[in-house]
Amino acid sequence: MAAILIHADAAAAISATGLRLLNAIKTKPDVVLGLATGRTMEPVYADLIERVQSGGQSFSGVRSFNLDEYIGLSGKHQQSYRQTMNRLLFSHIDIPLAQTYLPIGDTDDPAQEALDYEKRIELAGGIDLQLLGIGSNGHIGFNEPSASLGSRTRIKRLTASTIKANSGFFGSNDAVPSHAITMGIATIMDARKILLVATGEGKAEAVAKALEGPVSTSCPASALQYHPGVSVILDQEAAVELKLRDYYEEIHPNGRELYFRS
């Protein structure tokens, strides 16, 4: 685990995330980004758009791969992750839509689409920076508890708790698709760098299990403990159950990354 960065509040955590994304694009204009959906990401994309609008950064060379898509939803469905990404980010920046990838949700052959998606990532040279949220049950992407830590992009069934957590977007539990195509844990672990963002007390237990618990399929995010290039951006609430919280705050006061120099 590279760095656990605890910020004073959600606004500071979000702003730090937006800044990192912008810096990644400035440093490498043809960066390959791994993107995520979920409520946590909504203010992150708003922050990034604001930075881009005031700084004039071009996304014309950027390529992006989203973590997942609901099976059965066309890219035109309001709650498809394709539409969500268009609405929250892509329509506000100059990235050509042809350079933004999500699994196709309404394909006749989702298993083949998952294999093709994995290939597309490989052909793009792999993901430089993967943005991640975390589910309250420890899922990343739609890798629900019990997901193989060696998994690649494939079909996953959503758990009842994830369906409930996402039902607000659809109006009822029944309207939430039961399956998704998601990057696997091993696909995510292949990213050169990973940025995990969590805000709010609802994520505190999952964050503690992921960062300090045993590495286990019962908390898929715990696999990140094996990745040497992860930064975890938290607010105080999401950090509240971390046993070594004082230590992390000592190393990174206010979420700042300081480097030791003798």
| Residue ranges that bind ligand GLP, judged by CB under 6 A | 36-40, 67-68, 133-135, 141-142, 162, 166
Of residues 42 and 50, the one with the C-beta less far from ligand GLP: 42
Min. distance of Cβ 27 from ligand GLP in angstroms? 25
Of residues 28 and 191, the one with the C-beta less far from ligand GLP: 191
Of residues 25 and 44, the one with the C-beta less far from ligand GLP: 44
Catalytic residue, candidates 137, 143, 166, 237: 137
Catalytic residue, candidates 69, 118, 128, 144: 144
Q: How far apart are CA 132 and CA 197, in angstroms?
A: 6
- Residue 144 designated active-site: yes
Min. distance of Cβ 43 from ligand GLP in angstroms? 10
Q: How far apart are CA 259 and CA 257, in angstroms?
A: 7
Min. distance of Cβ 262 from ligand GLP in angstroms? 39
Min. distance of Cβ 229 from ligand GLP in angstroms? 19
Min. distance of Cβ 73 from ligand GLP in angstroms? 13
Catalytic residue, candidates 139, 143, 166, 237: 139
Calculate the alpha carbon distances from 108 to 83, 114, 178 in Å: 20, 12, 16
- What's the 3-state SS for the chain? CCEEEEECCHHHHHHHHHHHHHHHHHHCCCCEEEECCCCCHHHHHHHHHHHHHHHCCCCCCCEEEECEEECCCCCCCCCCHHHHHHHHCHHHCCCCHHHEECCCCCCCCHHHHHHHHHHHHHHCCCCCEEEECCCCCCCECCECCCCCCCCCCEEEECCHHHHHHHHHHHCCHHHCCCEEEECCHHHHHCCCEEEEEECCHHHHHHHHHHHHCCCECCEHHHHHHHCCCEEEEEECCCCCCCCCHHHHHHHCHHHCCCCCCC
Of residues 31 and 183, the one with the C-beta less far from ligand GLP: 183
- Residue 139 designated active-site: yes
- Residue 68 designated active-site: yes
Catalytic residue, candidates 7, 47, 66, 68: 68
Of residues 103 and 133, the one with the C-beta less far from ligand GLP: 133
Active site residues: 68, 137, 139, 144
